[in-house]
């Protein structure tokens, strides 16, 4: 774990891998890189705690054996939303105080570049799944930076809820 100094204090930094989540019970800067994947962050201003996930498939129901246990619950957008909400509830945070943000879902291929047998639009499907699952839980993103054809580098502050995005110069796909 790296640290970043801000106002004379060291703030831990962690990298969020695909399919993982980070629960920030103490100030941390979480970074990740997104292509077609999505990152969903939830933050409580009252508790100054936040969570973030890096999901890369829209729904757990798309796998062959849906009853097979998953090591990475945040691999799928639908189960990631549930996991983030449960994590915040365990911290004593109510759903109505959450600030939710959504990022990613890029598409690096145009339709003329994709063979008919390929899965089209995984980025847009991830964004759609996130919006549907959040809405089903009574949540709406406060802000979003989604779609397009460029990847994003993201930094999330677990203690302020701030997110910094840098669009990557080249397509990641």
Can you say whether the dihedral through the CA atoms of 85, 39, 141, 36 is positive or negative? Answer: negative
Q: Which residues of 76-87 are buried (b: 16+ CB within 10 A; e: fewer)?
A: bbbbbbbbbbeb
Three-state secondary-structure class, residue 165: strand
What is the structure's pLDDT at 164?
A: 97
Q: Token digits for 146?
A: 């989604």
What structural domains and CATH numbers belong to the chain? 14-167 (3.30.1330.200)
pLDDT in tens, the chain (173 residues): 555 555 546 899 999 999 999 999 999 999 999 999 999 999 999 999 999 999 999 998 766 565 666 667 899 999 999 999 999 999 999 999 999 999 999 986 544 344 333 446 899 999 999 999 999 999 999 999 999 999 999 999 999 999 999 999 865 55
Bridge partner residues of 29 (DSSP): 13, 157
The 3-class SS string of 71-132 reads CCHHHEHHHHHHHHHHHHHHCCCCHHHCEEEEEECCCCCCHHHCCCCCCCCHHHHHHHHHHH
What is the structure's pLDDT at 115?
A: 37
Is residue 11 exposed (0-12), middle (13-18) or buried (19+ Cβ within 10 Å)? middle
């Amino acid at each position: 774990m790296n640290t970043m100094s801000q106002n004379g204090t060291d703030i831990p930094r962690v990298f969020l891998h695909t399919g993982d989540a980070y629960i920030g019970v103490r100030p941390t800067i979480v970074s990740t890189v997104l292509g077609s994947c999505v990152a969903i962050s939830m933050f409580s201003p009252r508790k100054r705690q936040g969570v973030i996930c890096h999901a890369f498939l829209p729904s757990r129901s798309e796998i062959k054996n849906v009853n097979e246990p998953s090591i990475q619950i945040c691999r799928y957008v639908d189960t990631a939303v549930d996991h983030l909400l449960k994590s915040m509830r365990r911290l004593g945070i109510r759903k109505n105080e959450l600030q939710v943000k959504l990022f990613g879902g890029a598409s690096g291929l145009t339709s003329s570049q994709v063979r008919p047998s390929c899965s089209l639009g995984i980025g847009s499907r991830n964004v759609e799944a996130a919006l549907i699952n959040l809405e089903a839980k009574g949540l709406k993103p406060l802000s979003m930076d989604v779609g397009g054809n460029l990847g994003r580098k993201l930094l999330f502050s677990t203690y302020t809820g701030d997110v910094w995005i840098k669009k990557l110069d080249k397509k990641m796909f």
